[in-house]
Amino acid sequence: VATRVRGFEVDPFGAWMSQVFLETALLELCHRARQRLPLLVEVRDSLRTPDGMSARFDLVIGNPPYGRVQLKPELRRLYSRSLYGHANLYGLFTDLAVRLARPLGVIAYVTPTSFLGGQYFKSLRQLLARQAAPVNIDFVTARKGIFEDVLQETLLATYKCDARRRTASVHFIHTENEQRVSLGRAGSFQIPQNAAEPWLIPRSQDQQGLVRVLQMMPFRLKHYGYQVSTGPLVWNRHKSQLADSADIRALPLIWAECVTPDGRFIFRSEKKNHKPFVVPRPGDDWLICREPCVLVQRTTAKEQHRRIIAAELPRSFVSQRGGVVIENHLNMVRTVNGAVAVPPSVLTALLNSRIVDRAFRCLSGSVAVSAYELEALPLPDPGSLWELESALRQGADREEIEAVCEKLYGQPEKP
């Protein structure tokens, strides 16, 4: 044991506790050997000294810290291969684990799920695909009551340092009580050819077939003639410009609450500190949206009935005031050059469907509905949406529309 096990911990008390627990676990062995366990847990800032760890290991286990961190230039250079934009601590520790593992070695980590689809983790996904592909991913189904003061979605991942591996199994861990958990199989997934893209993974036991379909769908929002951006107004930076009345200079301010849970647009400002209008100042043209678009809520949780909640911002409403200002808790799905293959009303109905919600859950790893993930969402051939457009024109009810959308994904609606 003394020659094969090492521990690294930045906190001295945490390192001491780890050493004590390790010796407690091996107490009977130490008693028979008539000697104390040597010091195996070293106090070390592992991220800053990875090259100082001369040993490499068959197994690297960790429950790394998480959260955005500002990196000094030398650390950003050191971990540049796995960084894209903002750095997150657990991404750095995942890179560290790859450095510490031997060829064909195994990494076992407890982390949030956000690296599976987030834009800031695209380089990390490429690194894992090249050097330490996942063997198994176990999603912890509950967000509450698992780790104290933690609400992130969590997973247990096992990686093997073998670049040839492209397929991994997927399970769900259900916590029944403080003493018992159960494991359910969800299927498997393949790392896409472009590993930087979000990884499509079944998030429930009935999604394996859907994931196979999604992997074969080449169309994205760009093929429909749309792109996604975040609403530009951060309201607390423009407090003095918010207004209650619509004077000649004021424009409607579109809050997230204007997009209702059932996918309708209602102009309103009912929450605390919300006001219905904003008065642009000289140089604020970048805040103004002068064309209709599809609005999508930017933050939804997996416990909600729908992850994608969209509503069409009508041309008539925008034209009435010559423009609107949209705040940053909404995504704006806008035309690229004014020419679209699918009208906004049809796109809104598709995005609000149950099948698209299921598809989005297969690639999203956080509560954010990001522009990056929306643009990566697999969609049907735009030329095949004529039936959906016809159904909307004829006033079809919700279930008829759902059935059309299911067919577009080759997934017949279950009775």
| pLDDT > 90? residue 265 | yes
356-362 mean pLDDT: 94
Task: Please tell me the distance from the alpha carbon of residue 116 to that of residue 109, in angstroms, as a whole number.
Answer: 14
- Residue 105 and residue 64 in contact, taking contact as beta carbons nearer than 8 Å: no
Give the contacts of 145 (CB within 8 A, at least 6 positions apart). 175
| Least confident stretch, 143-152, 157-166, 262-271 | 143-152
Residue 368 is which amino acid? A
Chain centroid offset of residue 135 CA: 20
CA–CA separation, 388 and 258 (whole Å): 25
Q: Is 18 left (phi over 0), alpha (psi -120 to 50) or beta?
A: alpha
Task: Tell me if 112 sits within 8 A of 118, measured CB to CB.
Answer: no
- H/E run at residue 97: helix 89-100
> Looking only at Cα atoms, what is the longest distance across the chain?
88
Q: What is the CB neighbour count within 10 angstroms for residue 217?
A: 17
As a three-state string, the secondary structure of 156-203 is EEEEECCCCCCEEEEEEEEECCCCCEEEEEEEEEECCCCCCCCCCCCC
pLDDT confidence bin for 148, thresholds 50/70/90: low
At 174 the pLDDT is 85
Cα distance between residue 220 and residue 376, in whole Å: 6
- Is 60 exceeded by the pLDDT of residue 214? yes
| 284-to-241, 245, 251, 305, 370 alpha-carbon distances in Å | 11, 19, 12, 37, 24
Is residue 123 within a helix (H) or strand (E), and if so which, with residue range? Answer: helix 122-131
Burial of 197 (0-12, 13-18, 19+ CB in 10 A): middle
- CA distance linking residue 88 with residue 68, whole number of Å: 4
pLDDT of residue 286: 95
> Greater confidence, 149 or 406?
406
- What would you report as the CA-atom Rg of the chain, rounded to the nearest whole angstrom? 25
Cα–Cα distance measured from residue 152 to residue 312, given in angstroms and rounded to the nearest whole number: 30
Least confident of 4-8, 138-142, 309-313: 138-142
- pLDDT of 53 > 80? The answer is no
pLDDT at residue 126 above 70?
Answer: yes
Asked whether the predicted pLDDT for residue 411 surpasses 70, the reply is no
For 88-123, how does the pLDDT look when each residue is reduced to its tens digit (9 = 90+)? 999 999 999 999 999 999 999 999 999 999 999 999
pLDDT at 82 over 90: yes
pLDDT tier, 152 (very low <50, low <70, confident <90, very high otherwise): confident
143 band by pLDDT with thresholds 50, 70 and 90: low
Q: What is the number of residues in the chain?
A: 415
pLDDT at residue number 186: 87
**Which residues are CB-neighbours of 84 under 8 A, at least 6 positions away?**
119, 120, 121, 122, 123, 124
Q: What is the pLDDT of residue 301?
A: 82
In this model, does residue 79 exceed pLDDT 90?
A: yes
Q: Is the pLDDT of residue 163 over 80?
A: no
Average of pLDDT values for 72-80?
93
Strand pairing of 330-335 and 293-297?
Answer: antiparallel
pLDDT at 414 over 60: no
CA angle 217–220–225, rounded 5-degree value: 140
Average pLDDT over residues 381-403: 95
Which class for 89: exposed (0-12), middle (13-18), buried (19 or more C-beta within 10 A)? middle
12-34 residue pLDDT tens: 999 999 999 999 999 999 999 99
Label residue 70 exposed, middle or buried (CB < 10 Å: 0-12, 13-18, 19+). exposed
The pLDDT of residue 415 is 43
Share of the chain above pLDDT 90, in %: 74
Q: What angle do CA 312, 315, 316 make, to 5 degrees?
A: 115
pLDDT at 145 over 80: no
- As a whole number of Å, the end-to-end CA separation of the chain is 57
Separation in Å, CA 330 to CA 134, 233, 280, 414: 33, 10, 19, 32
Instruction: Indicate if the pLDDT at residue 164 is higher than 80.
Output: no
- Ranges 35-39, 149-153, 242-246: which has the least confidence: 149-153
Tens digit of pLDDT for each residue in 291-327?
999 999 999 888 888 999 999 999 999 999 899 999 9
Q: At 78, is the secondary structure helix, strand, or coil?
A: helix
Mean pLDDT of the chain: 91
Contacts of 360 (CB under 8 A, 6+ apart): 307, 308, 369, 373, 377
